[in-house]
A and B are shown apart, each in its own frame.
Chain A
Amino acid sequence: MTDIAAGFAAAFQLLLSFDAGLWEIIALSLEVNLAAVFLSCLIGLPLGGALAVYRFRGRKALIILINALMGLPPVVVGLMIYLMLSRSGPLGSLNILFTPGAMIIAQAILVTPIVTALTRQITEALWLDYREQLTSLGSSRMRAIPTLLWDGRAALFTAVLAGFGRAAAEVGAVIIVGGNIAHHTRTMTTAIALETGRGNLALALGLGIVLVTLAILLNTAAWMVRERSMPEAALLGVDR
């Protein structure tokens, strides 16, 4: 218990001291996580919507594959991206290994299956309700996708937060492709790994508590935005 208490004490100390190093790490973490989630949405929302409305050979297999990819181990993704981006790899000339850009790509690959799979599930349920009506109105399947995404936005919002949670929590991928370089690619999670390695358990735990606090703040803010823009959805918890 004393260790955990020391962790909380360290967390308070970290936050109250407005340590420049800490803010640098927090800012980079948020930047990488948000950018990765944004990229994932760019791919996952339309792709999930398309999987919901189109019927084609291999669709079921593709859905199963994407669902399975939700459980991709971050280390494996990190290793794959490392081999791609390494100077001796196919994309080595981009020269983005050990940069935040590489971390964003790795996390986007981790998050995209989550956003895609949940989007597919949410929009397919809507599509069952809407299909006849939208077809009657002359909407093509392609045109129906943005309609479904917009109408499912309350539930999709939760899917996106789930994706953000995965990005914010993982360390395996970013530490490999980012290199945990001080002042450059050190995030909350890689800093926690480093401090654990140095035996600074209280500091590591303190960073962890800061991370959780941030996650709570961000989710609260997101929830409030959602409640203001979608009063009905907030009332019902999750929209249909």
Chain B
Amino acid sequence: MVNEGAYLTLGAAILSLVCFPAGPVLAKDKTIRVASTTSTEASGLFGYILPQFTRKTGIAVRVVAVGTGQAIRLARRGDVDVLLVHHKPSEEKFLREGYGLRRHPLMFNDFVIVGPKRDPAKIKEAADITQALMRIRDAMATFLSRGDDSGTHKRERRLWRMAGIDPSVQQGWYREIGAGMGRTLNIAAAMPAYTLVDRGTWLSFANRRSLVLLFEGDYLLRNPYGVIVVNPQKHPHVNVRAAQSFVRWLLSPSGQRAIGSFRIDGKVLFYPHARSARP
């Protein structure tokens, strides 16, 4: 018969795993949480710049990467210390409601439209983004919308509005996916279909198949990122000191340099944009 004691020992070992799951526990004031967007995480930006910050300050940064809408909800509920997203109107609303201390412009990249290589709507030669969208509508070429309340989704809806187009789902060619950028790109590549994507995610996206970059460069496609420390008056547990020092570093010349020097295939993904870093 198997000794029941052996099972007890095994149980105790596992119980200790349950009780101390994080392994070595980091000092609490040496850790901050950042809610950010999938674009920054998936592109690899954080993997590149965060070790530099941690090395310098000893503060560990834990990034929860979700859509902008969800990131803001996390910050409102006090589940993170810092918000780093890319939809200025939502960020300003967040500040007006008193959830954030201050919005700092941090960096920008731009959105681009990608689509099938043969470009059935001929948007490659479009003069501006408005014309590009009108051509997609006229050709009734399939366009995938994130449909997930993310920063990219909000920007896309605004672009359609500015082009005077109401792309209702019933028209068939406009499809809301309700998914993150990566899944949307995977589906667009499989169909293939047009979609709006931030340049960082696009450059780091590997499964392109017949998708190519078809339209870029309109001023309306600029995609600015802001960073906000969550207001400790709303959520007293926010680690303000460490959060402030993270934001200060991001805005400092060395932080800005780190952002600017992150490249994929030699291409810059995010342009430093902090006021202090401007020449």
Contacts and interface: CB of A to CB of B under 8 A. Distances in A.
A34 B46 contact: no
A235 to B, nearest CB: 16
A179 B31 CA distance: 15
Interface in A53-88: 86-88
Contacts of A182: 46-47, 63
B77 interface: yes
A202 B76 CA distance: 37
B11 interface: yes
Contact of A88 (B14, B78, B205): B78
A197 B181 contact: yes
B62 A181 contact: yes
Interface in A193-239: 194, 196-201, 229-230
A240 interface: no
A100 B20 CA distance: 9
A198 B180 contact: no
A184 B62 contact: yes
Interface of B: 2, 4, 11, 14-15, 17-18, 21-22, 33, 38, 41-42, 46-47, 62-65, 76-79, 180-183, 185-186, 189, 204-208, 235, 237
Interface of A: 31-32, 34-35, 38-39, 86-89, 92, 95, 97-101, 104, 150, 179-182, 184, 194, 196-201, 229-230
30 contacts: A31-B17, A32-B21, A38-B17, A86-B78, A87-B77, A87-B79, A88-B76, A89-B77, A92-B78, A95-B237, A98-B62, A99-B22, A100-B22, A179-B62, A181-B62, A184-B22, A196-B182, A196-B186, A197-B38, A197-B180, A197-B183, A197-B186, A198-B42, A198-B182, A198-B205, A199-B186, A199-B207, A200-B206, A201-B186, A229-B2
